[in-house]
Amino acid sequence: MSSIEQVIGFSVVVFFTILVIVFSTKSIRNRFPASFRKIEAINRLKRAIGMAVEDGSCLHISLGSAQLTDPSNASALVGLSTLHRVGQLTSTSDLPPICTSGSGSLLILSQDALKRISVDTNTQAFYDPNHTSMAGATPFSYAVGTMESIVDRGVNGNVLIGNFGTEAGLLCETLDKARVSITGSDSITAQSIFYAATQDTLIGEELYALPAYLAANPTHQASLRVEDVFRVAIGSALIAGSVLKVLGIL
C-alpha cells in the first residue's frame, strides 16, 4: 500500500467514524428522523418473530463459516447483532432462538450473546448452551450439520447471515420447509445461489442494514445513513472519473 493510499484509507475511517458519532446524537436523530425503504424480506422476518412468540416455535440463525481472524468476518458479526436482537424480541417465547456456525470463535460469541440476553431479560431458566453449536469444521460438514439442526428442532424460521460458499446450495434445500427464511452473505457466489434458491435474499449492503431495521440501537441507524452518504460520494466520483476519462482529461 502506497503512502497516499494509506492517508486516504485512514482519512475515510476517521471521517466515517466522526459521521457515525454525529448521526447517533439525539438532536440529529430528532431533527432528521430515519426513514427506511421497504425490504420485503425483513418485513417477513419481523412477522416470523411475532409468530414465533405467539405459537412458541423456534427460530434458527446461522452465521456461516468465517473465522474471526478473516476479513470476511463482518457479515458474521452482523449475524451476531441479529441473533442478539432476535433473542431479545423472542425473550417472551418458550423457545429461545438456536444458532449454528462453522467456526469455534463464532460458537463462543453466539453462546455469549444468548447468555447475555437471558441475563438481560431475566430468562436464565431457558438458557441452554446447546442451543448454539458449531455444526461442522469444514464448509460442507457445516452445511450438513446445520441441515440436521434445522430438521431436528422443527425450526419455523431461518436467518442465514454470514460468509458462505457453494455449500449455501445444500442449506437452501432444507429452508423450504420453514415458514420464512432470510438469507444474506458478503460472498457474491453465495448471494447468487441464495437468490436462485430462496425467496427472501438480502443483496449487497442490505445484509448490513438488518440490525438497523430490527431497531437494534441508534448507532446502527447512524451507520446506515453514513453508508448512504459514502455510497453517493463514491458513485459520483466514479461517474465523474468516467466522464473525465471519456473527455480525455484523465
Partner 1 sequence: MKSPLAMIVAVLTGLIVLLGYFIPNPVLSRIRTPLLDWAVILSGVAGLVAIIHLIFGVHWEKVKKQGMQQWFSLVVVVVFLVTLIAGLFLEPTNPGYQKVVTYIQTPIESSLLAILAITLSFSSLKLLQRQRNWMGIVFFVTVIIFLILNSGLLSFTDQIPILRDVLSGLQMIPTAGARGILLGVALGSLATGIRILIGSDRPYNN
Using CB under 8 A, which of 28, 34, 53, 170 touches partner 1?
Answer: 170
**Residue 227 lies near partner 1 (rule: CB under 8 A):** yes
**Distance (Å, whole) CA 185 – CA 166:** 11
Q: Compare residues 68 and 244 and give the one whose CB is closer to partner 1.
A: 68
Strands 180-185 and 132-134, sheet pairing: unpaired
Question: Binding to partner 1 (CB under 8 A): which residues in 94-113?
Answer: 103-105, 107-109, 112-113
Question: Considering only 30-38, 48-56, 91-99, 167-175, which stretch makes contact with partner 1 by CB under 8 A?
Answer: 167-175
Q: Least distance from C-beta 234 to partner 1, angstroms? A: 6
**Distance (Å, whole) CA 127 – CA 72:** 29
Among residues 242, 72, 88, 98, the alpha carbon closest in space to that of 163 is found at: 72
Question: Binding to partner 1 (CB under 8 A): which residues in 58-87?
Answer: 67-69, 71, 74-75, 77-78, 80-81, 84
Per-residue mark of binding to partner 1, 19-58 (x: CB under 8 A): -xx--x----------------------------------
Beta bridge partners of 146: none
Q: Compare residues 157 and 162 and give the one whose CB is closer to partner 1.
A: 162
Among residues 182, 185, 186, 214, the alpha carbon closest in space to that of 201 is found at: 182
Residue 68 phi/psi, 5-degree rounding, is -65, -20
Q: Least distance from C-beta 115 to partner 1, angstroms? A: 6
Kindly provide the residue ranges of all beta strands, DSSP E only, lying in 14-101, ordered along the sequence. 58-64, 98-101
